[in-house]
Amino acid sequence: MPEPLTYPGVYVEEAVSLSLSVRSGATAVPVIVAGQSASPKSENAKDPFAEAQRVESWTEFERLNGVFDEAASKNLLAVSVRTYFENGGGPCFIVRKANLAAQVPGLIDATLIVAAGEDIKGNLAQLVGKGKLRFAILDAAKTEPNTKTNNKLDDNLLTSPYAAAYYPYLSAPWTTMLIPPSAAVAGVYCTVDRERGVWKAPANVPLQGGLKPCSVVTDAEQGSFTSGPIAVNMIRDFPGTGTLVWGARTLAADDDNWRYIPVRRLFDAVERDVRLAANRVMYEPNAAPTWERVRGAIDNYLHELWRSGGLMGETPKEAYFVHVGLDKTMTRDDITQGKMIVRIGLSPVRPAEFIVLEFTQDVMPG
């Protein structure tokens, strides 16, 4: 409140002007899909997942779904959620498959869709895609343990830069079920995002919880599923290193721009953060002072992203650009219509997927 005026003179009051900053939000908050076979604590109990349910920890899941006993070890949802938390998963949502289209759009924080053994091919277009800012983690075809990898791993998959698939199913000493890999891999996404950043490929990371691939994948077999149009990422057991997530490709392997998971997810994360910050200048004057505040806030955000290793380039100018202004990104007609157009360019880092070592033997003349 201003101080009361007690004597004649000129008084100056300082007002706080609009400030704008772009902050990095959560990048790995999954929706884990639950089939109708996932049962509540007892037959007469209310289904705890009739509505989308946010779950913070494994302990909270047990409180909702029941203690993990022998019966739960044969329940697809319970087994999937356990592998998710054992591999570093954080807060997540659990949504029935039948409710995905109705409930997921209202989950503002959700950034991942995890199939958890369910076939969600028919829901994919509703859940992920341009502007939806979500990425799907799917399971490739289920095969029997110790069988040779077949050529039909992509039967339940569609070409999409907004999704990735993993093979094979997993085994663990605490269940007789074959475990879909997507939930465990979602835990890896959470761990890598938290410890390194969304721009780091969620690969070359060991799985926890005694998980082993139920089938052995050879180099030749993986090679046949690395190229497009649909690539499948493998989970492999290597001597001395354990069970590793061994691949980081989207289901659009032929698309040079969106071939890699971290590139697609980085752009989604930047769009999400910038969009949220830009809401603060809604209905501000569409003029140069507002444009400069927006440009400066985004520039600071991207500069920090570059310093953290999320963008390529030896200098900020090589890593990104932010353009906004009359005759730069907008015409006078755009301004008249209330449009403020900001153009952002990023130079993302891509994973070193193929390490080529060249050895040369120098032969001394005899």
Q: Helix (H) and strand (E) counts for the chain?
A: 10, 13
Can you list the positions of beta strands (E) in the chain? 30-34, 53-55, 92-96, 112-114, 135-139, 163-167, 170-172, 175-179, 212-213, 233-238, 242-246, 320-324, 342-346
pLDDT tens, 262-275?
A: 999 999 999 999 99
pLDDT band at 142 (very low <50, low <70, confident <90, very high): confident
Q: In this predicted structure, what is the pLDDT of residue 296?
A: 95
**Whole-number mean pLDDT of the chain?**
90
Mean pLDDT in residue range 28-45? 77
**Residue with the larger pLDDT of the pair 214 and 363:** 214
Residue 156 three-state SS = coil
From 251-260, 333-342, 353-362, the region with the lowest mean pLDDT: 353-362
Q: In this predicted structure, what is the pLDDT of residue 146?
A: 72
d(CA 185, CA 180): 10
pLDDT band at 6 (very low <50, low <70, confident <90, very high): confident
pLDDT tens, 144-181?
A: 777 776 666 766 788 999 999 999 999 999 999 999 99
pLDDT band at 319 (very low <50, low <70, confident <90, very high): very high
Burial-class residue 207 by CB neighbours within 10 Å (0-12, 13-18, 19+). Answer: buried
Is 90 exceeded by the pLDDT of residue 137? yes
Q: In this predicted structure, what is the pLDDT of residue 357?
A: 81
Q: In this predicted structure, what is the pLDDT of residue 1?
A: 44
